[in-house]
Structure 1
């Protein structure tokens, strides 16, 4: 009989906006493997990840976008999205206002279109079918022209169902709670600093906190603010990714420089991702 131990973290989230108390149970089986269970108002959602690149479940959850997490937590056959019929009403109102200003639509018909709201009942069942005239035989020619010139070109977007939107809000609340728990800590460098000083070297902590004598030569002259720093990161990432992809396309992964390009691309990708994340919160 084998007995395995894992690290379990249970979190209770209260006072989340427009949500009942949320219970989160995180089970880290080992580095890079674990699952999360989220409970709220009698419902529960669970997801397991077996390849998180050494991250904990909390770290992985914070790094992932809501759409991906919702797909992982979603259960059952209910659809996640539905047509956003509200878009039709907004589009019609915008069209009416524009055409009235141009004088190409009669005032009475424009008012009928503007006030009508139940456009879902008018949507054709098939792409080759006609839109239903909500005014019956009234304004037949006007509506036919309107349908041909505007409605037939509409592409109705999708939106989350109320069930999916509910889970999306819960995911956001869980992320906010986890962000308060996950701390970014610099490793203790005391031992290695001591050894470096004894060897006549600049201690690692000083190089990290203050920079090395080469720092001023490494800094790019074009980096003058955060916007240009982001451009610099994208430039460097593109350089290494381009070189890596070329080698992969040429089936030349065994080249001595391939690992160099691959590792540097990963490093710049990591820095750019965290820079963008930080920029969104400031």
Structure 2
């Protein structure tokens, strides 16, 4: 067994607005190669770069796009999630318009307007129809045209959180380079 010792730089970022302390472990493993690990509130993300330029990994990371880095740190992280709050607003507006145009009965309009959580009736698949949340007006609901009325998306909270962490890491690496450079 061969045991090697390497130099790892550890930076701790604190006193950030709406972020827990972040610990960064950065290691230049070979010329133009290195790995970085970020830890924040018990979660950690790590990635390796095999071609990071002559100035070292820290400078390389500072120059990279945040979204690219987030994808490197967590390839399975979903960037978007359904925005059912906006969907509720849009659905209610559509129901008001349908009622004004007399395309929908007063009773069904009221039942649908009173639905506060559409997540169990609508899937993220735009080809699946909206499920009827009220059974009294089943035949009338089936005749309504909700095709093309898809759930809007927003950036997922987990993705936005990791973007904020990566931005803080980039700022910390830049500030650390200024202190040690």
TM-score under structure 1 normalisation?
A: 0.50
Aligned to 1:121: 120
Number of positions where the alignment pairs a residue of Structure 1 with one of Structure 2:
174
Structure 1 Cα separation of the partners of residues 19 and 60 of structure 2: 23
Aligned to 2:34: 34
Alignment of 1:58 with 2:55, yes or no, is no
Question: How far 1:48 moved relative to its partner?
Answer: 0.8
1:84 to 74, 82, 85: 82
Cα pair distance change 1:124/1:49, threshold 3 Å? closer
- Whether the aligned pair in 2 keeps the contact of 1:85 and 1:120 (CA below 8 Å) is no
- Whether the aligned pair in 1 keeps the contact of 2:32 and 2:51 (CA below 8 Å) is yes
Greater strand proportion: 2
Alignment of 1:48 with 2:45, yes or no, is no
User: Any unmatched runs of 5+ in structure 1?
Assistant: 184-282
Structure 1 Cα separation of the partners of residues 42 and 49 of structure 2: 24
Q: How does 1:98-117 map to 2 (within 5 A)?
A: 99=97, 103-105=100-102, 109-117=108-116
- Whether the aligned pair in 2 keeps the contact of 1:81 and 1:158 (CA below 8 Å) is no
Alignment of 1:144 with 2:122, yes or no, is no
Question: How far 1:23 moved relative to its partner?
Answer: 0.5
Name the SS of the counterpart of 2:119 in structure 1. Answer: helix
Structure 1 Cα separation of the partners of residues 25 and 53 of structure 2: 21
Structure 2 Cα separation of the partners of residues 128 and 2 of structure 1: 56
Structure 1 Cα separation of the partners of residues 162 and 114 of structure 2: 33
1:168 to 133, 152, 163: 163
Higher RCO (CA-CA < 8 Å; seq separation 6+): 2
Q: How does 1:1-282 map to 2 (within 5 A)?
A: 6=7, 8-74=8-74, 79-81=77-79, 83-86=81-84, 87-96=86-95, 99=97, 103-105=100-102, 109-123=108-122, 129-138=128-137, 140-141=139-140, 143-146=141-144, 148=145, 150=146, 152-159=147-154, 161-183=156-178
Report the aligned-residue RMSD.
3.4
**What per-residue deviation string (whole Å, max 9, x for no partner) do you get for residues 162-185 of structure 1?**
5444323321221232333345xx
TM-score under structure 2 normalisation?
A: 0.72
Question: How far 1:38 moved relative to its partner?
Answer: 0.6
- Structure possessing the higher radius of gyration over alpha carbons: 1
Name the SS of the counterpart of 2:142 in structure 1. Answer: helix
